[in-house]
Amino acid sequence: MTDTRQIDGVTDAAAARAAAARLAARHGVPALERARLAATLGARLRQCLAEGGTWRLTLGVRGADSGGGALHAVLEPPPNASSAGEGTRWETTVPLPAADRPGGTGDSDSDSDMVPGDDPAALSQALMSADADTALVLDRLAEQEALVAFHRDELHQTNQGVLALHAELDAAGRAQREAFAAERRARNEAENARRRLTFLADASAVLNTSLNHGEIVRRLPELLVPRYAAEVGIWLFDEEDDPHHPMTRPAATVRAARTGRPQYAADHPGGLRGVDDLPPSVLHPDRPLLCVPLLTHRAPLGVLTLSPPGERWDPDDAVMLIELTRRAGIAIDNARRFEHNRDIAETLQRALLTELPTTPGLSLAARYLPATHGMNIGGDWYDAFHRPDGSLITVIGDVTGHGLHAAVMMSQLRTALRAYAVDDGSPGRLLTRLHKFLHRLQPNLYATAVIARFHPDEPTLTWAAAGHPPPVLRLPDGRVRTLDAKPGAMLGIPLEQEIADHTEQVAPGSTLTLYTDGLVERRAEGIDPGIERLSAALGSFGPAELDTDLEGAADRILKPLLSDSERDDDVCLLLCHLQG
């Protein structure tokens, strides 16, 4: 079906619009599409009326028999239209639904689809139908607006939630960053505290290792420079006369010495706990000074003056330095007290050692070396003296332990032996009496000893040992024997014993060597290898060397046996040489 209309006025345009709407409604076009078609066609018709002339509108349906198809509208301009912008051909196509349409197949020639241009009632009815479609479109538009408003509210709520979530995430992020920063600071503080404690422990161990106060004073700057101080000055009060120490000192150092409190001299407050602030030093105005007194339990020893490695100290580092200075003061004081006691003990030890007597036909040489660790005094001793019958008693012994107590007991044993030797007693009898004397005098103290007796009119040597390393005898031909006959037990042990005598034939040129275990004993190997080394050293001398220089021989024996500079025990050596 095709409907062609000539349009040259408003009535023709209205009739054409109404006809297009009724044709679309008859073929089941939805109201929304009908309204869109009517509106689009109406707007185009108004433009045509404005341009003038007679326009031709052709309405038709194509492919309706096959169950589909489309409504087709073509608006053609007047034949005489020629100006630009006028006479533009317009057409549109509206798809028809595939379902059956009520009222027929859509291709009837009935006049019910036609709207006469001169029938007002038909035009009015067509306009009313168009208003119904418009109302339906407006209802649909209202529904869409309501839906849009609903979604707008939902979107607003969602946006608010997103904003709140972002705010929460931002706050959580800030809190997490602050927590990480706090954890990092705590970790750094803990690491710095561990570093300071480790340094303090290591430095304290270094300072307390030595019992020489000069060594401690030398090591203290080595520990602090350059990590905790750029310069270190140590002022010891009893070294005022030392030309190597300056007499002019910063005022802060003098104030620390007088008050016994740490002082900080700088052009800015130090903010250090327990430290007094002072103006910058006139002697060192360009750097801060931390002056800490070296305190002890009795009296201050001096002052430690430090300059920082940078512009200033960390407060915790300053606290650590003050504590280290306190420990250094105690270490120096302990070292000085030890040196004082050691000097007294060594003087006592030397005073107790005997000057060797002169005996025709018999040369004596002795050596005593204190241990390099501890008090440098022990119970080792040697002695040689004449008896009323003209014989010579030589003895070497060792009281267990070290220190003044061992030295005093050694002195008592030495005195007791000389007293017992006034009577005519053999070496074994003398040791037996010393054993009883020591057990009664000091039940918990023990000793070892070897006594040898030489008689100028007899070619024999009588000796006895009590728990002591065996004597070593060098024969005139250079052979060396160890006198290892069965000895007695240690002196002073809770045991009744009678110590036996032993006799050896000796010829001129023979040398008897008495010694303490400090000469031959080593921790890792025992005593036997040391005795073998001693025997080898004795056998290395020529026939005339011991006759001419027994003192030098004693030194040459000690040298290979004491190759280590550090000794844990005292060393005694007594050489008895029969002239050849």
94 beta partners: 71
For the cut 50, the answer to whether the pLDDT of residue 105 exceeds it is no
Task: Give the strand pairing for 480-482 and 289-294.
Answer: unpaired
Nearest to 296 by CA among 213, 205, 404, 203: 213
Mean pLDDT of 552-580: 82
Tokens of residue 321, six digits: 């330095």
Q: Strands of 422-570 (E only): list them.
A: 447-454, 460-466, 472-474, 480-482, 502-505, 511-515
pLDDT at 169: 92
For the cut 50, the answer to whether the pLDDT of residue 109 exceeds it is no
Listing DSSP states for 124-175 in one string gives HHHHHHHHHHHHHHHHHHHHHHHHHHHHHHHHHHHHHHHHHHHHHHHHHHHH
For the cut 80, the answer to whether the pLDDT of residue 523 exceeds it is no
Pair 470, 482: CB distance under 8 Å: yes
Give residue 100's pLDDT band: very low, low, confident or very high (50, 70, 90).
very low
For the cut 70, the answer to whether the pLDDT of residue 290 exceeds it is yes
**CA 69 – CA 98 distance, rounded (Å):** 8
**CA 107 – CA 110 distance, rounded (Å):** 9
Domains by residue range for the chain, with CATH: 2-147 (no CATH), 210-347 (3.30.450.40), 353-578 (3.60.40.10)
278 beta partners: 265
pLDDT at 247: 67
In the sheet that holds 460-466, the strands lie side by side as 378-386, 392-402, 447-454, 460-466, 502-505
Summarize pLDDT for 277-286 with one digit per residue, the tens: 999 988 888 8
Q: Pick the residue with more confidence: 110 or 80? A: 80
Contacts of 475 (CB under 8 A, 6+ apart): 481, 507, 509, 510
For the cut 90, the answer to whether the pLDDT of residue 579 exceeds it is no
Q: Pick the residue with more confidence: 129 or 304? A: 304
Among all chains, which residue has been given the structure tokens 């005098």? 441
Pair 354, 383: CB distance under 8 Å: yes
Angle, vertex CA 440, rays to CA 434 and CA 442, nearest 5: 90
For the cut 50, the answer to whether the pLDDT of residue 383 exceeds it is yes
Summarize pLDDT for 162-206 with one digit per residue, the tens: 999 999 999 999 999 999 999 999 999 899 899 999 999 999 999
pLDDT at 3: 86
pLDDT at 112: 45
pLDDT at 104: 41
Summarize pLDDT for 454-484 with one digit per residue, the tens: 987 788 999 999 999 999 999 999 999 999 8
Pair 238, 285: CB distance under 8 Å: no
Summarize pLDDT for 7-40 with one digit per residue, the tens: 988 888 888 888 888 888 888 888 888 888 888 8
Angle, vertex CA 496, rays to CA 492 and CA 497, nearest 5: 90
Pair 93, 74: CB distance under 8 Å: no
Pair 105, 96: CB distance under 8 Å: no
For the cut 60, the answer to whether the pLDDT of residue 107 exceeds it is no
Tokens of residue 401, six digits: 């332990």
**CA 315 – CA 10 distance, rounded (Å):** 101
How far is residue 178 from each of residues 167, 172, 182, 184, 185, measured CA to CA in Å? Answer: 16, 10, 6, 10, 10
SS3 state of residue 523: coil
pLDDT at 1: 65
For the cut 80, the answer to whether the pLDDT of residue 242 exceeds it is no
User: How many percent of the chain have pLDDT more than 90?
Assistant: 42
For the cut 50, the answer to whether the pLDDT of residue 84 exceeds it is no
Mean pLDDT of 152-158: 91
Angle, vertex CA 205, rays to CA 200 and CA 210, nearest 5: 135
* Local structure of residue 9 (DSSP, 8 states): S
Mean pLDDT of 223-239: 89
Nearest to 134 by CA among 24, 17, 35: 35
**CA 255 – CA 269 distance, rounded (Å):** 17
**CA 386 – CA 371 distance, rounded (Å):** 30
Least confident of 53-57, 96-100, 254-258, 551-555: 96-100
Tokens of residue 323, six digits: 């504590």
Mean pLDDT of 529-558: 90
Average pLDDT over the chain reads 85
Give residue 538's pLDDT band: very low, low, confident or very high (50, 70, 90).
very high
In the sheet that holds 70-76, the strands lie side by side as 2-7, 55-62, 70-76, 90-95
Burial of 160 (0-12, 13-18, 19+ CB in 10 A): exposed
H-helix or E-strand containing 259?
Answer: helix 251-259
Summarize pLDDT for 318-370 with one digit per residue, the tens: 999 999 999 999 999 998 888 887 777 677 766 767 789 988 889 999 998 87
Amino acid at 556: R
User: How many percent of the chain have pLDDT more than 70?
Assistant: 87
